[in-house]
Amino acid sequence: MAKLIRRHHRYFLLSFIVLFFFGGRPAEFGQEISFFQGYLIPKPVIRVALGVNLEDIHIHASSGMKLYLANQNYKLLGSDIFEIRVRAYKEKLTEKFLVLAAQSRRREDAEKTAKDLRAKISFRVYVTEDKAEDLEGVFQVRVGDFLARSEALSFIKRLAQLGFPEGWIIREDVTEPASKPRWVMINDELLDLDQRTALYIIPANGQSYLAFGGHNYRGIFVLKGSRRGVLLINILNLEDYLKGVVPGELSPLYYGELEALKAQAVAARTYALKNLGQFEDLGFDLYDTPASQVYDGMSIEHPLSSRAVDETRGQVAVYGGKLINALYSSTCGGVTENAEAVFGGPPVPYLKSTECVWENEKAFSLKAGAAVPAVFESGKNISPELAELEALDVLDLAAEPASWYGAAAMPGEAAVWARKAAAAAGRIAGKVEPQPGALTPLALGRLLVRAFGWEERVGNLVGKSEAEHVTKNWKGLRPPDRPLAAFLLTSGILTPDPDPSADGPLTRARAALIIRRALVFSRDPYRSGNFESLAGGAIVVSEDGETKTLALRKPWYLFRRIDGETAPAASAELTGGEVLRWIGSGGVVRLLEVQAAPPTNILDRSSQYHSWQVRVSLEDLEVRLNQFYPIGKLIDLVPKKRGVSKRLLDLLIVGQEGQVRATGMKIRQVLNVRDTLFVIETERDAEGKISHFVFTGKGWGHGVGLCQVGAFRMAQKGATCDQILKKYYRGIKLKKEY
């Protein structure tokens, strides 16, 4: 092991490397740049922080990596390394508090406010541009420093008396110098790093990738120090970055519509390019968290979202020739809000309130191919189950309705049904010979076990104790038959009756129902997707991201599913995006089930966050509010102003020790709600005093710009990427940036 050289230091520095290799930002799009040994990263390049103030960094490579030590010169430490372990003692962080007294879009206005405030107080007052705001160009008037939150809270009360009722506490970390060295373990060799060094980690070849924190990443890593502690930065091509962003922001698993994913890709690309250099003082562009955009590297990539990135390569949204601030949120609750109403400042022409509906929505009328005869078993209409069996060519539902009742089904017919059901489930049917006598539940069970080949399950997976326990109430059951009966009951093929009997004869209806349960136990016969349109005598569906045209072969049956219940339907009105399930093969549908959609035209209605409710006790809310404002005992919450979307923009918080106003996005934070589109209701105790506040609302996020679930539903209804973007971002144009 090499001799250890102990040096006390505070930071790793990488400014020389960044200037040498990048020259600040890329000068031109579309060209390639070389990093050592011919490793190429096409422009545009983005730098993403994967971790801040790290302590224990463990990096792997899929097929080796090169490690460079960079200070005054560049030294190759290893060219065939598969694992690097870096120990970087965390910076000790303390905290200080500032008070945001006011903010403005114009520096001149902010400076005037600061001057007026300095004349009234003895604290430090200064103006700073807050680049972390969702909308750029916000100048804040700050007061401080305060060493304790309680001091800042007390000052907010005084600030309100001076005519600044919207004081807000800002917490900042203060870094103390580290007193211990950092070291790196490379191939069992321990090295110290001084304050002018940094680690440059390069994959061994263009096909290799690096791994950190359970995720795989394209591009290269840089490990450096900063005033926020040790940073790990992923440097890569912007398009590769987007392939790790789009599926995290709009999951293709749940929102698998290509045009919606393309819209998300354009929005994410525009946001990234507009915000390059946002954290230049720390040496990177964006965080990998929702503070910028969620980025999980290669580990989250999906073929459909990667296709969306590839098909929109270089495409961005502009207004007046400039990149827009492409804000987006998960669920708008039916309508988006004007940007200035949420974030303050002057109006932003492309971020205007928009109803989450699609005016070009088409309607399709689908009529059933045949009527479904009603067949009842134990008071329930089982025609959906029988129609499934007919669609799978197991039986014929066209028989006389009376034939399903009364006399027991013949064992020979049941044996034929069992063989066909096993074949429909993809099982190689065993020898199925009916036994003489009446068809009882147990006799039918024997036929099914042989047809589906479940003998091994019955013989080896049903214990003696379990068999006796499960079948203890089954009258007339011989001990050798208990494992079979227990298997049928625990699998749900047979259901326990109030007075189970092994000898009770079955009707044809009940025998068919049991066979259907066996088939479903073996394999779900349905395929699923989303409705797109009608094309002549066929339906166009999206299945796993692929568009397919399915013929409707008569007699085919139509069902509608509402609240978990399925019933025959004569027709269905469809607009696109409805969830469908069907049975058929070879591009032909014999049975179609439509998941009934809510009777609304709101696009994001399918989101679980479209509607929500939060109930909190007065005491708990009082504790939370006093972390932000010195109000003392909470008396009431009074909405004062709402925006075009009916979002709450101004909330009066009434306390025993004073009143304060929360505005814009601060309302979400202090109340801990998903969105500001909500109403406030109160519950009272027996004495008439407020005991709880109930917040009933819609949406999730700030509600400005693109509604992600709304974009998905538009795509389901046939909208293109361009139509989606131009709906939520008013008056924009799309162009190729590179």
- Report the alpha-carbon distance of residue 373 to residue 376 in Å, rounded: 10
Q: Is the pLDDT of residue 526 over 90?
A: yes
The rounded mean pLDDT for the chain is: 85
Sequential DSSP letters for 77-123: EEEEEEEEEEE-PPPEEEEEEEEEEEEESSHHHHHHHHHHHHTT-SS
Q: Is the pLDDT of residue 180 over 60?
A: no
User: Per DSSP, what are the bridge partners of residue 58?
Assistant: 85
Q: Which of 176-185, 194-203, 305-314 has the lowest mean pLDDT?
A: 176-185
- Tell me, what's the pLDDT at 35? 56
- Tell me, what's the pLDDT at 404? 87
- Report the alpha-carbon distance of residue 738 to residue 274 in Å, rounded: 14
Q: Which domains does the chain have, with CATH numbers?
A: 15-90+179-315 (no CATH), 92-176 (3.30.70.1070), 364-370+526-599 (2.40.50), 394-522 (no CATH), 611-698 (no CATH)
- Report the alpha-carbon distance of residue 140 to residue 109 in Å, rounded: 10
- Tell me, what's the pLDDT at 341? 92
**How many residues does the structure list for the chain?**
738
DSSP 8-state class, residue 574: E
Residue 611 has, within 13 A of its CA and on its CB side, a CA count of 4
Across 485-508, b (16+ Cβ under 10 Å) vs e yields bbbbbebebbeeeeebebebbbbb
Task: Write the pLDDT tens digit of every residue in 261-287.
Answer: 999 999 999 999 999 999 998 889 999
Q: Are strands 658-663 and 588-595 parallel, antiparallel or unpaired?
A: unpaired
Quick one: average pLDDT of 59-73?
82
Task: Write the pLDDT tens digit of every residue in 459-501.
Answer: 999 999 999 999 988 888 899 999 999 999 999 999 877 555 5
Q: Is the pLDDT of residue 55 over 80?
A: no
N- to C-terminal Cα distance for the chain?
49
Which residues, in sequence order, are CB contacts of 396 under 8 Å at separation 6+?
A: 390
- Tell me, what's the pLDDT at 95? 65
Higher pLDDT pick, 427 / 179: 427
- Tell me, what's the pLDDT at 184? 67
Give the pair of three-digit tokens for residue 139.
């100048």
- Report the alpha-carbon distance of residue 101 to residue 123 in Å, rounded: 12
Sequential DSSP letters for 544-560: TTEEEEEEEEEEEEEEE
- Tell me, what's the pLDDT at 676? 96
- Tell me, what's the pLDDT at 16? 31
